[in-house]
Amino acid sequence: MQRATWKVGGAVLALLMAVSACSSGGRGSGAAPNGPATSASSGSGTSAATTFGTLASPCGKGSATGATEQGVTDSAITIGYGDDRGAAQAPGLNQEIGDAVKAMIKWCNDQGGINGRQLVGDFYDAALTNIGPVIQSACKKDFMLVGEGWASDEAIEQQRVECNLAAVPTYAIGPDFANGPMMYQAMPLPDDQQPASGLFQMAQLFPDTKSAFGIFGNNLPSNQVADAKIRAAATAAGFTVVDCGQPTNYQGEPNYTPFAEKFKQCGAKIVYLTTPGPQTNNFITAMAQLGVTPKYIMQANGYSDAFAAWNTAGYGNNVYVQSAFEPMTDTANPAVKAYEDAVAATGGKTAPLGMQAASSFLLWATAAKACGSTLTRQCVINKLAAVHDWTGGGIQARTDPGANTAASCGLLLKLDGTAFVQAYPQQTGQFECNPEYAVKLPQSVWFATLNADRVATKFLTPNVIKPQG
């Protein structure tokens, strides 16, 4: 079985940029003034919200009492959240995550909190490399981590597990965190499965491409890990993966024509693009200038306003993006509108990763509400483990957070000039679902050792909180 060492640095940054590239297409006010406050709590108490899309609001007045757990009192629940916005390598990195959770805390407190307890948010800027002090603080004072998104999550997994700090993150990057104990997320991406709706849908739409699937990747180890999973998923979707030459240098190349020539020679009819950005733009341009026009497929990281704005020449008009979230342009969707209204109320930045953070917050809040006065980590974990049907009020495709399984639903967006449009299914906001779209990966491309319950064993202790009942 392959193993990898996950370190904070350029490799993790590049992978995080891939995960968060969709955030660069954010809309709204841009950087929130000074970021979220360290303690984002208390609202006006005037909100009359009773739903978030189709989800009944988990927030409201009540009479819950008791100091039942660290971070819980008669009147308040203290949670930790945050992002990497202070990263020197990428200022503002994933700011929309913290902005979303800050907004949802206010949205919830304006309704009365959770069963009457107000939420207090401890914001942590991990800044990519400052994750150590973050987990030390959170372990000492927070009830749970909620909606956080940190590139170096693997680096603190041992400490998180040892202090039994349960988490409902926006996303998980490290393999041991992605299948970690006491961890649930609205859009699971476990180490042993790959959401592949877009690959299957492209095979349906363009069956002539199935004979030659190429991967345009780079030599960054973390991206090569992701590409290995895509190679396995593409094979499961019926594609024949072809070798189109060596990957590029992740720091860039002076000339992309030689790489385009290789893809022309190998006859690739569809090309998987690992990450958005200048490399991808230059490669697509070089392909077009050679007269080569395959179909392209990307993960949700390709859904970016910056990428769309680049496409003035139309070279990217064959680019398709897999997504399990509603298009942000679909403001007729009440959940999308609820998210955008909540973030606007706190002057934050909106982007797809922000929607993901909001969905994870709602997942946690729904479980916390169900615990009533008996608000303990054990109770919340019990409730989270029982959630097997989640859409965040209609903001995302249906998932199974309790089982930590990859999404089996998705839609395809297509780059059309300088805008993205939904290409499949044809009705905007509609997802297509099929169990085979959640591909079970061969063990050769796992990077965590899993037990029979699919929980990572590297940092597992006898004292972890396990679901009961």
* CATH class as words, domain 10-192+330-403: alpha beta
For residue 204, the Cα-to-chain-centroid distance in whole angstroms is: 26
d(CA 411, CA 315): 22
**CATH for 193-328+407-445?**
3.40.50.2300
Give the model's pLDDT for residue 44.
39
In this predicted structure, what is the pLDDT of residue 21? 37
Domain range summary for the chain, segments of one domain joined by +: 10-192+330-403, 193-328+407-445
pLDDT in single tens digits along all 469 residues of the chain: 333 334 444 444 445 544 543 333 443 333 333 344 333 443 434 446 689 999 999 999 999 999 999 999 999 999 999 999 999 988 999 999 999 999 999 999 999 999 999 999 999 999 999 999 999 999 999 999 999 999 999 999 999 999 999 999 999 999 999 999 999 999 999 999 999 999 999 999 999 999 999 999 988 887 888 899 999 999 999 999 999 998 999 889 999 999 999 999 999 999 999 888 899 999 999 999 999 999 999 998 899 888 999 999 999 999 999 999 999 889 899 999 999 999 999 999 998 899 999 999 999 999 999 999 999 999 999 999 999 999 999 999 999 999 999 999 999 999 999 999 999 999 988 999 999 999 999 999 999 999 999 999 999 999 999 999 8
pTM: 0.90
